[in-house]
């Protein structure tokens, strides 16, 4: 009898980002495990050249002999007065020149036979206590890069500023030894690079998982909105067909209806691409995440648009829900009326100025106008189109008064034409974005018919302008100061050093 073969066990594969992280971790551990140990020995010789009499030679020698180098070096501790060798304390290269002059005069063995470099294996740590210079110099086989020389200077400065000359020399030598022939796995740059690579990989995994979670959440939130739009699609279509074609406020919304039908078709196409079941890893990939975002954005757009189409029809035909549609149109002006006193108080010195009084007067007229038009609309004495036109006239009148007060604030505050220009042309987010109105759609399609500063809520516009103008003006009057903390890194020799190109750098303390 032939037995059936057992069914193959499915192999679970790790998500690719997680696999990348594991590979990086293994590579890092393997590299560190196989890295050779860093050998460390005391300097081959220690020489104290205290020409200024500021060092305590015996304890300094002992301390320098305890410094661990990874390669044999001849360490020299040197104090020198740059003025004794023709230098000037104002010359940034004075210490470099003085150390070279001293070596040529007293220790020609510090220089190569060709006279162009410091001798191999030589490391000089130098200080000029009186003229406040410090620096390090080295043979070509033990030299460092400029950035490391500057780091050594930074290490020496605290002790040097406290007149601890022995301590400054030891600090410089110790930091020099830490840089010289440093194994890659002790190099902060290499460590940071490895950690950054690991963090980037972890961030990639976290980002992918988060992207998947957000994608699924977007779809979950968008589905009810899409379903609602599709359920009431016929109602929306009927509302669009009954909007008066000759209405100046209805025509822009009819143009929106054309966009609504295109967007609804797009949303349906995207909906059909969604899987019936979205697992825990769905949405991690770029393609599925893009699909989720596009579906959510399109669903939100058609959900807002169908409400606007129905609301427009309600108001213009004065059907059952016209009061809600009317209140949405009036709300930006009500918000402005509530903010008038606060806007005027922003510039207290102009609280009783002609423009402030005019702003209050216009606001009172707008408040009465809203009540009058609302009553006429309710009594059937005014069409929806005419009522919206009245709101636009009130908005324009309040906007002109707000602009006049803005100009008064500029004239009172600006100290120059440049400051007036800065205040007049500030950038800020329009308050209109917080409202969805029929009048806003008309302005969107026909901006040339409105003033440049026209806003659905003029006083909110004035408040936003004042806040940003104050910020921009303060930034203009008090620009951020730029400071330089550079205090070292002087390389090279005056006059080219007579053909000398030895490695080294000095700085001040």
Identify the residue whose tokens are 């359920």. 231
Residue 321 CB neighbours (<10 A)? 13
Q: Which CATH architecture has domain 45-182?
A: Roll (3.10)
How does pLDDT run across 62-88, given as a tens digit for each residue? Answer: 999 999 999 999 999 999 999 999 899
Q: How confident is the model at residue 41 (pLDDT cuts 50, 70, 90)?
A: confident
Is a pLDDT exceeding 90 seen at residue 278? no
How does pLDDT run across 131-151, given as a tens digit for each residue? Answer: 999 999 999 999 998 889 999
pTM for this entry:
0.57
Residue 477 token pair: 């009057």
Of 329 and 498, the one with more pLDDT: 329
| Percent of residues, the chain, with pLDDT higher than 90 | 66
Spatial strand order of the sheet with 133-138 comes to 45-50, 74-79, 122-128, 133-138, 503-508, 488-490
Is a pLDDT exceeding 50 seen at residue 492? yes
Crossing angle between the packed helical segments 354-378 and 384-413, to the nearest 10 degrees: 170
Report pLDDT for 373: 97
How does pLDDT run across 404-421, given as a tens digit for each residue? Answer: 999 999 999 999 999 999
Rounded to an integer, what distance in angstroms lies between the CA atom of residue 99 and that of residue 14? 62
Is a pLDDT exceeding 90 seen at residue 13? no
Is a pLDDT exceeding 60 seen at residue 36? no
Crossing angle between the packed helical segments 286-316 and 233-241, to the nearest 10 degrees: 40
Report pLDDT for 296: 93
Identify which of 389, 341, 390, 386 has the alpha carbon closest to the alpha carbon of residue 368.
390
Domain residue ranges in the chain: 45-182, 207-317, 319-478
Q: What is the mean pLDDT of residues 340-347?
A: 94
Is a pLDDT exceeding 70 seen at residue 509? yes
């Amino acid at each position: 009898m032939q037995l059936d073969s057992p069914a193959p066990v499915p192999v679970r594969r790790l998500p690719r980002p997680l696999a990348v992280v594991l590979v990086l971790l293994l590579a890092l551990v393997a590299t560190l495990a196989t890295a050779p140990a860093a050998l460390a020995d005391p300097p081959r010789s220690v020489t104290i050249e205290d020409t200024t009499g500021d060092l305590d030679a015996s304890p300094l020698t002992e301390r320098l002999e305890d410094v661990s180098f990874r390669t044999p070096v001849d360490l020299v501790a040197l104090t020198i007065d740059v003025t004794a060798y023709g230098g000037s304390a104002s010359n940034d290269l004075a210490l470099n020149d003085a150390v070279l002059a001293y070596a040529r005069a007293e220790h020609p063995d510090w220089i190569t036979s060709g006279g162009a470099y410091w001798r191999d294996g030589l490391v000089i740590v130098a200080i000029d206590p009186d003229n406040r210079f410090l620096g390090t110099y080295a043979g070509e086989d033990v030299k460092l890069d400029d950035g490391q020389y500057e780091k050594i200077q930074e290490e020496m400065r605290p002790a040097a500023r406290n007149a601890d000359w022995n301590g400054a020399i030891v600090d410089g030598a110790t930091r020099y030894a830490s840089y010289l022939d440093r194994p890659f796995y002790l190099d902060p740059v290499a460590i940071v690079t490895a950690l950054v690579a690991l963090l980037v990989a972890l961030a990639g995994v976290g980002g992918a998982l988060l992207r998947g979670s957000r994608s699924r959440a977007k779809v979950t939130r968008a589905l009810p909105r899409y379903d609602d739009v599709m359920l009431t699609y016929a109602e929306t279509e009927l509302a669009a067909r009954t909007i008066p074609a000759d209405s100046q406020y209805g025509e822009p919304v009819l143009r929106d209806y054309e966009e609504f039908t295109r967007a609804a078709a797009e949303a349906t196409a995207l909906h059909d691409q969604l899987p019936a079941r979205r697992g825990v890893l769905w949405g991690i990939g770029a393609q599925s995440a893009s699909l989720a975002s596009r579906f959510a954005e399109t669903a939100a757009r058609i959900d807002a648009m169908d409400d606007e189409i129905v609301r427009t029809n309600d108001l213009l035909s004065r059907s059952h829900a016209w009061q809600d549609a009317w209140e949405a149109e009036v709300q930006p002006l009500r918000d402005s009326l509530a903010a008038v006193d606060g806007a005027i108080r922003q510039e207290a010195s102009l609280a009783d100025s002609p423009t402030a009084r005019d702003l209050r007067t216009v606001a009172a007229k707008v408040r009465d106008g809203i009540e009058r038009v609302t009553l006429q609309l309710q009594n059937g004495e005014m069409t929806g189109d005419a009522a919206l036109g009245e709101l636009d006239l009130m908005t324009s009148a309040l906007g002109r008064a707000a602009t006049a007060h803005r100009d008064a604030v500029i004239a009172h505050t600006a100290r120059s034409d440049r400051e007036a220009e800065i205040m007049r042309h500030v950038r800020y987010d329009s308050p209109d974005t917080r409202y969805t109105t029929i009048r806003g759609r008309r302005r969107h399609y026909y901006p040339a018919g409105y003033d440049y500063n026209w806003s659905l809520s003029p006083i909110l516009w004035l408040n936003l302008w004042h806040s940003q103008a104050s910020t921009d003006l303060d930034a203009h009057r008090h620009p951020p100061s730029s400071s330089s903390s550079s205090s070292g890194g002087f390389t090279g020799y005056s006059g080219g050093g007579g053909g000398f190109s030895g490695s080294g750098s000095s700085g001040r303390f």
